[in-house]
Amino acid sequence: MKHMFDSAIIDADKKQKVRKADICFVLAILAVAFVGFFIIKLQSAKGSYAVVSYDGEVLLSQILLEQPEPVYYMLTYEKLDNGIAIWELSAKDWEATNLPNSEYNVFICADSEIRMLQSSCPDKICVHHSAISNTGENIICLPHKLVIEIKGGKENDLDGVAY
């Protein structure tokens, strides 16, 4: 009886102590994360334009970040799979605009940054996202399959070569 009890304690002990494999695993993951951070940092630069795509297809290919005045962009989705209308509005027009009954996203391009202002999606992750301005940064509205990505910037930009 005592014997059985002992082995149970040893077993529980094993589960409760941090083991060598744990540390190796954590270090491996952190190494990958660190390399990723480093690569992003190397490529990071102020972007020059933004690309908006829906479901993998480009909707707006060149939104210049440097704009004399803030520009509001409103996307309305009739149904999630077809019929996307894109509205480009000045601040004045935007104030006079009512939000549509259909699903929508509204983002603003001002001060060389893009920020999601409003969205009809349930989780609002895109709206809580911080403003983006550096190459590679993006805002994703997953329920609406919408991606806004910053591009341009460095001369040796890979996308620049491809075009």
Partner 1 sequence: MKKTVTLGFLLALSMILSYIESVLPLSIGIPGIKLGLPNLIVVILLYLYGEKEALTVNILRIVLSGFMFGNLFAILYALAGALFSFTVMLIMKKLNIFSIAGVSIGGGVFHNIGQLIVAMLVVETYAPIFYLPVLLAAGVVTGFIIGLVSMRLMPYIQNKW
Q: How far is the CB of 20 from partner 1 (least distance, A)?
A: 8
| Residue 118 binding partner 1, by CB under 8 A | no
| Residue 61 binding partner 1, by CB under 8 A | no
- Which of positions 23-42 make contact with partner 1 (CB under 8 A)? 25-26, 29-30, 32-37, 40
Binding partner 1 (rule: CB under 8 A), the pick from 16, 82, 101, 156 is 16
- Closer to partner 1 by CB, 39 or 91: give it: 39
- Among residues 72, 35, 44, 67, the alpha carbon closest in space to that of 151 is found at 44
DSSP string for residues in 116-145: EEEE-SSS-HHHHSPPB-BTT-EEEEGGGT
Residues in contact with 77: Cβ distance below 8 Å, sequence separation at least 6, in sequence order: 83, 84, 102, 103, 104, 144
**In the chain, what is the greatest distance between 2 CA atoms, to the nearest angstrom?**
82
Question: Footprint of partner 1 on this chain (CB under 8 A)?
Answer: 12, 14-22, 25-26, 29-30, 32-37, 40, 53, 55-56, 122-123, 125-126, 128-130, 136-138, 140, 142-143, 145-147, 149
